[in-house]
Amino acid sequence: MQEYSEKIESAEALKVLEEVRIEVFGKKGVLAEQFAKMKSVPNEEKKEFAKNLNIQKAKLTALFDKKKTELIKHESILMMKEGAIDVTLFNGINEAGSLHPINETMNKMIDYFVSMNFSIEEGPLIEDDFHNFEALNLPDFHPARDMQDTFFFNDKKLLRTHTSPVQIRTMMSQKPPIRMICPGTVFRRDFDITHTPMFHQIEGLVVEEEGKVSFSHLKYILEDFLKFMFGDVEVRFRPSFFPFTEPSTEVDISCIFCKGEGCRVCSHTGWLEVLGAGMVDINVFKAVGYENVSGYAFGMGIERIAMLIHQIPDLRSMFDGDVRLLEQFR
């Protein structure tokens, strides 16, 4: 039994002590084994044998309990030391914050359009069907509603899937001429390397008396804007479709990484798609009660543009909250 006393004595951690406990006091432990031998001890020796064994057991138990108390104390002090925060310690961190790349890019966009005399409008994030779809020429069962994976609430409300409902709200609360942008948060049921359920868009809308604005105005301002954002790039307008504009266009810039040569980022096309635009569809004007007007609208994702400008490979890193990303923008 001396051997086991030593084992208990020399245990340096609760984990080790627990192993010794099983070995000594466990169901199949040394003590149990000794007690089992009682059966084969001759009757006249039984008393002495049991007495002896009980003394040994008591000694070991006392030793064990003492050791356990000791180790608990020791280990909790260690734990407290490790996790301790010394509030008096100056850790040398004295760093200024920085704008998030999304805000920085958004601010630059806003600067441009404000300089072009656009007003900044806002709308609710929780929208209704009328503003998000119906008034934008996306009636119920319109197949183009599939383009938007919507978060719906029970009461028919929804999280806006784009900033376009702000066009409707602005037209209904103001009179033309209108010259507005709306930067803001939008939501879609999407999550992968290029999509997050929450992201940002900036919307633009210009409405004038009929005939005063045309597609060439749209082309001019977008080209000028994209050169402001990206420097010396080529700008390309491709025919496209949006229910709320007619004609519609998607706008590309020449790839800023390979200068149009073709690379992985531009899928070897030499072009990067950056925004959608078009002349406001007559049905949108009807929905808001406008007559004898013409206008253009455009919309784009802010993350996409920020990622291109800063060469950020994974959209999700924008929302991880890792300060190491922000440190690069100080």
Closer CB to ligand PHE, residue 101 or residue 184? 184
Query: Which token pair is 73?
Result: 């104390």
Q: Is 277 in the site for ligand PHE (CB under 6 A)?
A: yes
Q: Which stretch binds ligand PHE (CB under 6 A): 65-73, 95-103, 119-127, 294-302?
A: 294-302
Residues 152-171 that bind ligand PHE (CB under 6 A): 162, 164
Closer CB to ligand PHE, residue 7 or residue 162? 162
What is the C-alpha separation between 235 and 166, in angstroms, rounded?
27
DSSP count for the chain of H helices, then E strands: 11, 9
Considering only residues 31, 297, 302, 305, which one is a binding residue for ligand PHE as defined by CB under 6 A? Answer: 297
In angstroms, how far apart are the furthest CA atoms of the chain? Answer: 122
Q: Which stretch binds ligand PHE (CB under 6 A): 68-76, 229-237, 256-264, 272-280?
A: 272-280
Residue nearest to ligand PHE (CB): 299
Residue 312 has phi, psi (to 5 degrees) of -90, 120
Q: What residues contact residue 117 under an 8 Å CB cut-off, 6+ apart?
A: 179
What is the C-alpha separation between 288 and 297, in angstroms, rounded?
15
Q: Is 254 in the site for ligand PHE (CB under 6 A)?
A: no
Q: How many C-beta atoms surround the C-beta of residue 70 within 10 A?
A: 13
Closer CB to ligand PHE, residue 132 or residue 254? 132
Query: Which token pair is 14?
Result: 């609760």
Q: Which stretch binds ligand PHE (CB under 6 A): 4-12, 119-127, 271-279, 314-322?
A: 271-279
Q: What residues contact residue 286 under an 8 Å CB cut-off, 6+ apart?
A: none
- The CA–CA distances, whole Å, from 62 to 4, 15, 28, 55, 259 equal 13, 18, 20, 11, 81
Q: How far is the CB of 309 from ligand PHE (least distance, A)?
A: 20
Q: Which stretch binds ligand PHE (CB under 6 A): 21-29, 89-97, 125-133, 270-278?
A: 270-278
Q: Is 276 in the site for ligand PHE (CB under 6 A)?
A: yes
Q: Is 278 in the site for ligand PHE (CB under 6 A)?
A: yes
State the residues that interact with ligand PHE by CB under 6 A: 162, 164, 203, 242, 245, 276-278, 297-299
